[in-house]
Amino acid sequence: MDLTGKTSLVTGAAGGIGLATARLLARTGAFVVATDVDERGLAALAAELGASVTTVTGDVSSPDDVRRMVGAAVTERGRLDIAVANAGIIPLSTVVETSPEDWDRVMAVDGRGMFLTCKYAIEIMLGHGGGAIVCVSSISGVAGQHGQAAYGPAKFVATGLTKHLAVEWAAHGIRVNAVAPGTIRTARVKELGDEPGGREYLATMAAAHPLGRLGEPEEVAEAIVFLASPAASFITGAVLPVDGGYLAR
Ligand SMILES: NC(=O)c1ccc[n+]([C@@H]2O[C@H](COP(=O)([O-])OP(=O)(O)OC[C@H]3O[C@@H](n4cnc5c(N)ncnc54)[C@H](O)[C@@H]3O)[C@@H](O)[C@H]2O)c1
């Protein structure tokens, strides 16, 4: 994959899947606007990637912050070719345990944040003939799960935006796709192993994926960068499971 000359934006780039994606985009030659609420994480990434990255600290649920993130691509490179709408929080609770405030919070970050990232990215992409957007959904944005009464519906926003925006903007050269990761071994998921009942939970989750293990952030990044690249030039509106076969059952 050679993305030399492309300008990309990754939200939630300080950790997990976003960090792996920012690293892979830089390795393939793209310039990366890395954004997150985690300023220290972004500073570490900037030190690692050097001139191939610029960072913007901000919250994806804030329209002003997302405009600043997208604006940085224009300031630095005059264009935005690739946007990865990845930032998200993962609260797990049943509908009885979920308060109205919990619902609003996850919808603000995972729902509205993804909407704002797509909206302001598309406004820029329209000015130079197109681009590619990848939304990070989840198996929970495709199929029902236990204990994900607010998070699951928020991930359906990512899946829904992908399909609707793909149709809305195809004629303008903008492709919109999504990945639907299964359970991925990010730092937070690894920590679960040290919590009471965590080892058993992770073993159950691994067994639920037909490949018999959890995924790695780098495996999701590979799929994201493929969908964002010219290798996927005839793919739009797709939701690609990166789930070890979870959704195939
Ligand atoms: N880890 C999994 O098993 C898994 C599975 C399916 C989908 N996903 C999705 O992948 C995406 C990334 O999750 P992850 O697992 O890498 O999590 P993570 O917590 O490791 O990384 C998420 C990043 O987003 C940032 N972030 C959180 N709220 C933000 C906000 N309001 N504005 C800007 N940045 C914010 C965090 O600081 C963090 O750096 C999420 O959309 C999540 O729903 C994760």
Residue 213: predicted pLDDT: 97
Q: Are the C-beta atoms of 66 and 85 separated by less than 8 Å? A: no
pLDDT (0 to 100) of residue 195: 86
Atom of ligand 1 nearest to the CA of 14: 39
Going from N- to C-terminal start, the domains of the chain cover 7-241
Active site residues: 151
CB of 159 sitting under 6 A from ligand 1? no
Q: Please report, in tens digits, the pLDDT of each residue of the chain (249 residues total).
A: 899 999 999 999 999 999 999 999 999 999 999 999 999 999 999 999 999 999 999 999 999 999 999 999 999 999 999 999 999 999 999 999 999 999 999 999 999 999 999 999 999 999 999 999 999 999 999 999 999 999 999 999 999 999 999 999 999 999 999 999 999 999 989 988 888 888 898 999 999 999 999 999 999 999 999 999 999 999 999 999 999 999 999
Q: Where are the beta strands (DSSP E) in 203-245?
A: 239-242
The pLDDT value given to residue 198: 85
> Pocket of ligand 1, candidates 136, 139, 142, 161: which has the most ligand atoms within 8 Å of its Cβ, to mutate?
136
The pLDDT value recorded for residue 1 is 87
With a 6 A CB cut-off, is 136 part of the ligand 1 pocket? yes
| E strand spans, 122-213 | 131-136, 174-181
Taking 3-state DSSP, the helix, strand and coil percentages for the chain, each rounded to the nearest 5, stand at 50, 15, 30
**What local confidence, expressed as pLDDT, does residue 237 receive?**
99
| Record: fold of 7-241 | Rossmann fold (3.40.50)
Of the candidates 16, 21, 76, the residue with the CA atom closest to the CA atom of residue 49:
21
Q: Going by CA atoms, what residue is nearest to atom 36 of ligand 1?
A: 12
What per-residue confidence (pLDDT) applies to 224? 99
